[in-house]
Amino acid sequence: MSLKVEKISESLKLGEGPHWDEKQQVLFFVDINGAAIHKYVPSTGEHTEGKLDGRVGFMVPVEGTTDQFIVGEEKTFEIVQWDGKNGSKVNVVKVLGKVDQDVDAPTRINDGKADPRGRIFAGTMGHEVAGQVVSNMGSFYRIDNNGAIVKLCDKISISNGLAWDLKENAMYYTDSFEFNIRRYDYNVETGEISNMRFIFDFKKNGIEGLPDGSTIDKDGNLWVAVFNGSCVIQIDPRTGKLMRKVPIPAEQVTSVIFGGPNYDILFVTSACINIDKEKNPSAGCTYMVTGLGVTGLPGYNFKLQA
């Protein structure tokens, strides 16, 4: 099967946070600057959206439900209800908490995912001044199954790129402005992370652009979206080796996730920030990549204890 890249959505302002829902066989993702959550059904091609009041950094289904999600809206982690129908109202069911309250700046929640025990790891990023993100203004958090929010580290510029490897007892994480991928020792039972080190330097490997969202395949290799790089790269985090570069029509590639019945489809989101859509119609679109010859792993939902 040859490599094929297909567009599955029209241009969004800032597509991000793709999540494959195994039970419903649908893709969920967000448009951060469009303040919207999205649903795409590959079997029918149906694409719907629901609007929120503020910018939304990620959405992850709540375990045991088909219409509830944890989202990061501006500085607030909350549970929302949405029936998945186009234009349907998105209702806030429960506020879990606000973060970055000690930061006197309009930071916002960016990327977030559930870990293998259904906790949420997510972080914030700096605000923009004259079109540039202010460095070191964000933090990285964990939301435990009881809803408690724990700060893991601060001085984060753009929180991104989460993946877990239980065989390696590893969690991978990215602060985009470091131009590098972090690896932490990860305790799946407690959710604790420790012993941070860098495992892939973009500049040393000649990769132009910023490391953005990431996912992992069943062989333990990372797939990393390259913002301002028009590609997704595959790397071996154990050796730091660049394995493959997959071209994407959009310049601002933001995140990736494996999905489909066999987890052999790579879904890719992108952004259209300060780009002329008429000159660059591919910018901000969502893509489906087939023929990679690899398979990913099922994602995790948020397991919230009552």
Catalytic positions, written as ranges: 212
* Helical residues (DSSP H) of 47-161, grouped into ranges: none
Give dist(CA 138, CA 159) in Å, integer: 7
Residue 241 neighbours by CB distance under 10 Å? 12
User: Helix (H, G, I), strand (E, B), or coil: what is residue 14?
Assistant: strand
Q: How far apart are CA 74 and CA 236, in angstroms?
A: 33
Contact at 8 Å (CB) between 196 and 184? yes
Q: Are 122 and 141 in contact (CB under 8 A)?
A: yes
Q: How far apart are CA 290 and CA 296, in angstroms?
A: 12
Which tokens sit at 25? 């066989």
- CA–CA separation, 159 and 149 (whole Å): 16
Q: How many CA atoms lie within 13 A of 176 on its CB side?
A: 32
> Which of 86, 30, 97, 99 is CA-nearest to residue 59?
30
Pairing of strands 222-227, 120-125: unpaired
User: In sequence order, what DSSP letters do the residues of 78-91 get, joined into one string?
Assistant: EEEE--S-TTPPPE
Sign of the CA dihedral with 170 first, then 98, 175, and 215 last: positive
